[in-house]
Amino acid sequence: MAILNVLTYPDPRLRRCAEAVKVVDDDTRKLIDDMAETMYTAPGIGLAAIQVDVRKRVIVIDVSEDQSALNVFINPVITASSGEQEREEGCLSVPGIYATVKRAESIVVNALDRSGSEFILEANGVLAVCIQHEIDHLNGKVFVDHLSRIKRDRIRKKLSKQERRGSETLAGSAVA
């Protein structure tokens, strides 16, 4: 398995739309295993293939306390949604930023599993939030798009500051 590089907002590659997986084969399963390892190492509770620069409709999610319940969704489609919930979200592509987003409370999702078999899952609470967040990624959307322009601008500035500080530290340690 391998740890993949996660793209950081506002990288334009996060804006691309992922394409449906035609055949679930060993390459797809290798991608899933690498994505799961990347998510667990980060650590995070979800990851979409577009975040690791792969334009395929593949998502991994594990909202358990002990990383014991990996959910894999290939070509996921939300077929029903109801209610509303507001939760604080984070994103491995928007490091250090957390904000409250409004989403559906319950969803029904159809997808393929890692063997290519179709399944239907009814989800609510944090799992439903995470599925909606990751499907947004597959459609080129990042959670900050749900926020006001003012908040988005503030986040962009904070991230560029963080990036500048990171490169200054790197440059400093190269000299030392």
Applying CB under 6 A, the span of 14-22, 26-34, 44-52, 168-176 interacting with ligand K1U comes to: 44-52
Binding of residue 43 to ligand K1U (CB under 6 A): yes
Distances (CA, A) of 112 to 6, 67, 75, 103: 24, 21, 6, 23
Q: Which of 37, 65, 84, 134 is catalytic?
A: 134
62 binds, among Zn ion, ligand K1U, none (CB under 5 to 8 A by kind): none
| Half-sphere exposure at residue 13, Cβ-oriented, CA atoms within 13 angstroms | 14
Q: What are phi and psi of 35, to 5 degrees?
A: -65, -40
Strand partners, 119: 111
Binding of residue 90 to ligand K1U (CB under 6 A): yes
Residues 84-113 that bind Zn ion (CB under 5 A): 91
Binding of residue 35 to ligand K1U (CB under 6 A): no
Binding of residue 155 to Zn ion (CB under 5 A): no
Structure tokens at 108: 């029904």
Q: How many angstroms separate the CA atoms of 142 and 101, rounded?
A: 11
From 95, 81, 111, select the one nearest 42 (Cα to Cα): 95
Binding of residue 35 to Zn ion (CB under 5 A): no
* Nearest to ligand K1U of 26, 66 (CB atom): 66
Catalytic residues: 134
- The binding site for Zn ion (CB under 5 A) comprises 91
Interface ranges with ligand K1U (CB under 6 A): 43-47, 51, 89-93, 129-130, 133-134
